[in-house]
Amino acid sequence: MDKEKSTVSEEAKQSLEFSEAPPRVNALRRFLKVFLGRPVVVIGAFIILVLLILAIIPGWIAPYDPNKQDLSIVLLQPNAEHLLGTDALGRDLLSRIIFGARTAVMVGVVALGIAAISGMILGLIAGYFGGITYAIIMRFIDALMAFPVMLLALAIAALLGGGLVNVMIAIGVGMMSGYARVMCGQALSVKENDYVLAARSSGASNIRIMFRHVLPNCFPPMIVLMTMMIGMTILFEAGLSFLGIGITEPTVAWGSLVNDGYKYLLTHPLLSTAPGVAIIVVVYAFNMVGDGLRDAIDPRLRGTF
Amino acid sequence: MGTYIVRRILQMILVLLIVTIIVFLMIRLLPGDPILMYLTSSDLEEITQEQVDAIRHDLGLDRPLFVQYFDWIGNVITGDLGNSIIHRGKVGDDIKRRLPITLHLGGLAFIISIVIGIPMGVIAAVRRGTWLDNILTSLGNLGITIPVFWLGILLIYAFGLKLDWLPVFGYTSPFKDFALNTQQIILPVFCLAVPPIASAVRLTRSSMLEVMRQDYVRTAWSKGLRERAVIMKHALKNGLIPVVTLKGMTLAAIVGGSVLVETVFSIPGMGRLAVEGLFSQDYAVVQGVILVASIVVLVTNLLIDLSYGWLDPRVRYG
């Protein structure tokens, strides 16, 4: 009962804000003003841009081939030729970190896509149809949430075998429950709108209403959620590759670099700490941009994620 | 409240049932012969196809899937999680030995994350815009960013190798040597606690800011109540509702994090067991760990949800 009341007042607030809202151009300008208003968000966006460039053309930027072994220069300390030194097989650490960006971006984006698309579809179906469909899907999602993502990913990677694709699937399945829940909540409230009723009375099918009318109106929080989750997805990828699950040579991943360098911690601390710094910088950038995007799109989402 | 508790418990049993079905199917339906749960690949090279089929029949793997499921679940309820293919011992015994270690570390991290994280978030919200808020917010943002395994390595380097203050590996039972145990768990528990502290700070802060804008808080202020009374009596209870929901998910995250932290610190806990099981292709072990871990998460979530009913009366009567 109270819940209903609060959604009604929420809608009333929305319509009030809508009637006062300035024209669309100004909305965009306001979005940019809030989004670009904080320096940390701008810096984050810049870091992400650099990351994407590194991921697309690592070969042009890295000074050496990341997998070229040279046993005459093993475990060099940082110097002018090898800015971060070399690893136990004489490979240039900086080049390996640069190539690791590709793995992080690829796994991050694909796993995020798998999680978001599957979660969104399940959440949309559950929220739109309600009733028994809702109950079945959401109990399934509850069960999925009871599994620690790391363990679930580990088990899936174990069963599907190694390889980059399986790691992506494992992380994607592990993380889809959050999207399903948010999407379901959105769909539950969006479907009550008059335009959905209008669409139904003009004879639109369920599929059409779901994908043409309900889904697009659920997008803003989903986009925010996705941006805020990229960082976490990259962290999971790093964790799995640190354990040595799924990602194997010659693919370079930041987590496995940290693990490789761990053995030489006392004498060559940079080998395992430097790739970790790369992870932190990138994840921090994504988190900050996610926060900025949330504030710019809809500050009311603040408490939700 | 009574019906709420009963409804919540029934719901949990249903979810638990789905969890067991997923865990069961995970091993049976995915590519790979389930016989691998019982034989190592070197076993398979040594024996003939007929022998394999005979073993398959003895184990009941040629029967319909749902019969196998009820067989399996019957064993699970009596605590039999199958045998390890590596040392032939019972997986249940392995888990019984290692679960307390993970619960010890994870439980401490969980409590610390509540005791430290929530007050930090409240302070940040109350002192919004001050240097204190800036520091706490930045720490929160950093804490959800740092990979726990990297943090562990950094701490080992600083406190173990350079300063030589703390032992950096292993785990001794607190009943055997309490002092050594305390020294050994400081760093891993800290690593496990950092991400949940950080997410608690972030969420508590934003949720408290939201609540402090509400009319009833303004009323409390205008009645002339002191800040302490306004925050503790009027704002906090409502501000904590989303945080309690988060705490349920935190637990799964801590158990997941223990996989990494136990690896870094060579702690023989359940997370480490899962990784070992994975690398020796001991699927019964992986299956057992994931089942027990999710049961722990579900039961704790139930307790958290019941406390939710105490915080938010709407839940009780809704």
Predicted confidence at residue B30, as pLDDT, reads 57
pLDDT over threshold 90, residue A68: no
ipTM, interface predicted TM-score of the complex: 0.84
What's the whole-number mean pLDDT along residues B233-241? 80
Predicted confidence at residue A203, as pLDDT, reads 86
A165-182 pLDDT, tens per residue?
888 888 898 889 889 988
Of B30, B264, B271, the CB nearest to A159: B30
B70-122 pLDDT, tens per residue?
888 888 888 888 777 777 778 888 888 999 999 999 999 999 999 999 999 99
HEC sequence for chain B: CHHHHHHHHHHHHHHHHHHHHHHHHHHHCCCCCHHHHCCCHHHHHHCCHHHHHHHHHHHCCCCCHHHHHHHHHHHHHCCCCCECCCCCCEHHHHHHHHHHHHHHHHHHHHHHHHHHHHHHHHHHHHCCCCHHHHHHHHHHHHHCCCCHHHHHHHHHHHHHHHCCCCCCCCCCCCCCCHHHHHHHHHHHHHHHHHHHHHHHHHHHHHHHHHHHCCHHHHHHHHCCCCHHHHHHHHHHHHHCHHHHHHHHHHHHHHHHHHHHHHHHCCCCCHHHHHHHHHHCCCHHHHHHHHHHHHHHHHHHHHHHHHHHHHHCHHHHHC
B7-23 pLDDT, tens per residue?
888 888 999 999 999 88
Q: Which of residues 232-251 of A touch B (CB under 8 A)?
A: 232, 235, 238-239, 242-245
Percent over 90 (pLDDT), chain A: 19
Poorest-pLDDT segment among A73-77, A198-202, B27-31: B27-31
Mean pLDDT (chain B) is 83
Nearest chain A residue (CA) to B33: A159
What number of C-beta contacts closer than 8 Å exist between A and B?
163
Predicted confidence at residue B170, as pLDDT, reads 78
Of B31, B209, B256, the CB nearest to A150: B256
A13-50 pLDDT, tens per residue?
554 444 445 455 577 777 777 778 788 888 999 999 99
A147–B30: do the CB atoms touch at under 8 Å?
A: no
